[in-house]
Amino acid sequence: MEDILAVIPQRPPFLFVDKIVRREENTITAQRTLRDDESFFQGHFPGNPIMPGVLLCEACFQTGAILMGADHQRGLGVVTRIKDAKFKHFAYPGDTLTITVTLDEKLANAYYMHGSIHVGGKLIMKIVFQGALIQSEK
Please give the positions annotated as active site.
44
Instruction: Quote the CA–CA distance of 113 and 68 in Å, as a whole number.
Output: 10
Instruction: Quote the CA–CA distance of 67 and 104 in Å, as a whole number.
Output: 12
Which residues touch 102 (CB under 8 Å, ≥6 apart)? 26, 27, 113, 114, 115
Between strands 76-87 and 122-134, the pairing is antiparallel
Give the 3-state DSSP-derived string for 66-89, with helices as H, strands as E and coil as C.
HHHHCCCCCCEEEEEEEEEEEECC
Q: What are phi and psi of 93, to 5 degrees?
A: -55, 135
Q: For 35, which DSSP code?
A: P
